[in-house]
């Protein structure tokens, strides 16, 4: 009887994980295929690099108002619409012959993706009971790691039997399936009524919502400080990752095949870490998952930054990717347990806006510095900054006076 109850209670979470998995695998296929299409069209690596600027740019253009809309709309229905929107626009990409028209469509797709993340986080928090969130987040990390490995592998297979355009269509189908699966999920907000567009998006409403988030941040300064510190760690990982390929080529003198192997080792570390995390998550301390997980991510980057041979670099990327699964699970659980669900869209969107700005600034600084100084020196400095932030995060997460925040819902 107990087993039957467990199966019943995990029916919808399992469906949700399946939808997330389909979307993640499709996203990897789409990313690789689109890179190849742009490179084949232009022959310019710079044109491909521009694709990666569109994502934070879309976040900057979206997140200052999208949280106001997310918190006022039915989350399940919005997730379905965003999936279908992305599927439709991705399916139009093969018909576009102009580079700028492709950029425009990709920008719209990234806007939908920027809205989807805080929407899905809110829905997950409403759906999953507090006691099951850590396990669900661990399983989600496992799904993400599977997408990291399976997505590129499927993309490669599709390129053998078809073309990058065929792979684009597969991603559109994956998002369509994800949307259909989400339609099967329970409607947790049947009581919500759609407001008029003016009510949702007026300047006064957005301004008022910003003040609500700022007041919440002042009232729960510790919670938002932990949120901000973890975000800064992720900002530094993004900035350092922007030099990863150049570091591998110029400092480690790796061939393309060896660099590909190094990326595979990172993927293996993420998968192994996710599996172990999924097995022990329910027994793990949320504070240690965040604090120690982030510290070991930074330690892995430090090992990579100081490496001069392939073996040392491989050890570094394995440590950082292995630890990332634990850090993400701890952070997501902390976030879900301490941010009020009725304002989660606004908090996630507005802090996501700040994070996107920091990513752009840090990446530009590191990129310019790498042009003026040696790449290894810049990467070492970047990883030391990351380590200092992670150590600060650990110190604050293990404070005994704050232990309650890592076990119960604390914010009203």
Domains and CATH numbers, the chain: 1-201 (1.20.1250.20), 207-412 (1.20.1250.20)
Residues sharing a CB contact under 8 Å with residue 329, sequence separation 6 or more, in sequence order:
134, 137, 138, 140, 141, 277, 281, 289, 293
Q: Is the separation of the CB atoms in 302 and 316 below 8 Å?
A: yes
Please tell me the predicted confidence (pLDDT) of residue 403: 84
Which pLDDT score is estimated for 406?
A: 85
The C-alpha torsion from 193 through 199 and 204 to 209, rounded to 10°, is 20
pLDDT at residue 197, as a whole number: 42
CA distance 288 to 99: 46
Long-range contacts of 402-406 (CB under 8 A, 24+ apart): 402/222, 402/287, 403/287, 405/222, 405/223, 405/334, 405/337, 405/338, 406/285, 406/286, 406/287, 406/334, 406/337
Contact 23, 175 (CB under 8 A): yes
Distance of CA 109 to the CA centre of its chain: 15
Cα(343)–Cα(72) distance, rounded to whole angstroms?
Answer: 9
pLDDT of residue 180: 92
**Residue whose token pair is 């932030």:** 389
| Predicted structure pTM score | 0.84
Query: CA nearest 329: which of 124, 119, 150, 123?
Result: 124
288: CB partners within 8 A, 6+ apart? 330, 397, 398
Q: Cβ contacts of residue 143 below 8 Å, gap of 6+?
A: 17, 20, 21, 24
The per-residue pLDDT for 45 is 65
Block means of pLDDT (10 residues each) for the chain, 412 residues, are: 57 85 79 81 75 83 87 91 94 90 93 90 90 87 72 71 82 90 87 50 83 94 95 92 82 80 83 88 88 96 94 94 92 92 90 89 87 89 96 93 74 47
Task: Give the pLDDT of residue 192.
Answer: 57
């Amino acid at each position: 009887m107990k087993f039957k109850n467990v199966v019943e209670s995990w029916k919808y979470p399992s469906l949700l994980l399946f939808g997330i998995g389909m979307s993640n695998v499709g996203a990897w296929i789409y990313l690789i295929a689109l890179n190849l299409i742009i490179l084949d069209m232009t022959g310019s690596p710079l044109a491909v690099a521009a694709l990666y600027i569109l994502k934070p740019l879309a976040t900057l253009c979206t997140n200052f108002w999208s949280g106001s809309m997310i918190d006022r709309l039915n989350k399940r229905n919005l997730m379905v619409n965003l999936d279908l929107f992305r599927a439709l626009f991705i399916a139009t990409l093969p018909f576009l012959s102009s580079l700028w028209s492709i950029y425009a469509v990709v920008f719209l797709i990234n806007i939908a993706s920027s809205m989807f993340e805080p929407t899905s986080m809110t829905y997950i928090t409403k759906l999953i009971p507090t006691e099951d969130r850590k396990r669900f987040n661990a399983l989600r990390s496992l799904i993400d790691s599977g997408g990291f490995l399976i997505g590129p592998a499927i993309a490669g297979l599709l390129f053998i039997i078809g073309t990058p355009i065929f792979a684009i269509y597969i991603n559109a189908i994956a998002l369509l399936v994800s949307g259909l699966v989400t339609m099967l999920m329970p409607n947790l907000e049947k009581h919500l009524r759609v407001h008029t567009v003016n009510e949702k998006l007026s300047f006064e409403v957005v301004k008022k919502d910003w003040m609500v988030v700022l007041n919440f941040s002042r009232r729960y300064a510790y919670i938002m400080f932990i949120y901000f510190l973890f975000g800064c760690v992720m900002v530094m990982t993004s900035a350092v990752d922007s030099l990863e390929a150049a570091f591998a080529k110029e400092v480690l003198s790796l061939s393309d095949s060896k660099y590909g192997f190094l990326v595979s080792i990172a993927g293996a570390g993420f998968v192994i870490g996710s599996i172990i995390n999924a097995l022990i998550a329910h027994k793990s301390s949320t504070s240690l998952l965040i604090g120690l997980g982030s510290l070991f991510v930074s330690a892995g980057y430090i090992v990579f930054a100081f490496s001069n041979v392939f073996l040392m670099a491989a050890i570094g990327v394995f440590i950082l990717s292995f630890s990332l699964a634990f850090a993400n699970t701890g952070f997501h659980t902390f976030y879900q347990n301490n941010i009020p669900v009725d304002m989660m869209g606004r908090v996630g969107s507005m802090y996501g806006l700040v994070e996107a700005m920091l990513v752009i600034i840090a990446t530009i600084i590191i990129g310019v510095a790498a042009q003026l100084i040696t790449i290894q020196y810049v990467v070492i400095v970047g990883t030391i900054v990351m380590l200092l932030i992670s150590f600060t995060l650990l110190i604050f997460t293990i404070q005994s006076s704050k232990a309650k925040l890592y076990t119960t819902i604390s914010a009203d």
